[in-house]
């Protein structure tokens, strides 16, 4: 169970960057019994891949029939592929110049749109006053969309990764406790 949590925590550490390093090391040292493994993992350049390999090695020690082992191995391969896909997203963010250009273009457009629609409002409504709230609402929505786009450029910075890791730890610990209780009940 701890190997699965270490994997999730290592993935989180990869995407949180240097800001998370001290907390990552502290949590690993507090949670893991095998301090040699912890120190080895901390020294690894690619901690997430090393943790994935450790999960695979731990699973090799579990007595499981061949069919289930093959399915577990397939899941680990899918997890590794997904990790690589996340790496590509993380390593290739939208260049800052694109973000700035979009913000400048949007600002200019929102600034000039009232001049473009004023005459139409004047013709239809006989007053140009509704241009002000119309332009404000339009700006609110467009800048909101632009802000969403900025956040989607780096999804790992806004995701609650620590909560996900805690849930994984809680879930795997619960499964092991249930398995232990179930075996005791069956043996009695």
pLDDT at 34: 84
Helix/strand/coil for 19: helix
| Selected residue with higher pLDDT from 90 and 50 | 50
Q: How far apart are the first and last CA of the chain?
A: 25
Sign of CA pseudo-dihedral 36, 38, 43, 47: positive
Write out the two tokens for 15: 């995407």
Tens-digit pLDDT profile for residues 135-148: 999 999 999 999 88
Residue 127: the pLDDT is 84
pLDDT tens digits, one per residue of 93-114:
778 888 889 999 999 999 999 9
pLDDT band of residue 81 (cuts 50, 70, 90) is very high
Q: Provide mean pLDDT across the span 156-172.
A: 87
pLDDT given at position 51: 92
The answer to whether the beta carbons of residues 15 and 156 sit under 8 Å apart is yes
Closest CA to 153 of 91, 66, 64: 91
Question: What residue segments make up the domains of the chain, in order of their start?
Answer: 2-92, 96-153
């Amino acid at each position: 169970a701890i190997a699965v949590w270490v994997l999730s925590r290592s993935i989180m550490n990869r995407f949180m960057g240097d800001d998370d390093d001290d907390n990552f090391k502290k949590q690993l040292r507090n949670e893991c019994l095998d301090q040699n493994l912890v120190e080895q993992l901390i020294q690894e350049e690619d901690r997430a891949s090393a943790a994935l390999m450790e999960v695979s090695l731990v699973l090799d020690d579990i007595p499981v029939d061949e069919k289930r082992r093959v399915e577990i191995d397939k899941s680990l391969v899918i997890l590794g592929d997904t990790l690589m896909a996340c790496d590509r997203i993380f390593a290739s963010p939208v260049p800052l110049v694109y973000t700035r250009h979009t913000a400048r273009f949007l600002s200019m457009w929102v600034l000039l749109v009232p001049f473009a629609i004023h005459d139409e409002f004047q013709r239809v409504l006989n007053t140009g006053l509704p241009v002000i709230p119309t332009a404000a609402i339009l700006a609110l929505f467009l800048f909101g969309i632009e802000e969403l786009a900025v956040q989607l450029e780096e999804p790992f910075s806004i995701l609650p990764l620590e909560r996900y890791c805690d849930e994984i730890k809680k879930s795997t610990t619960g499964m092991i406790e249930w398995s232990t209780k179930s075996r005791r009940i069956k043996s009695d």
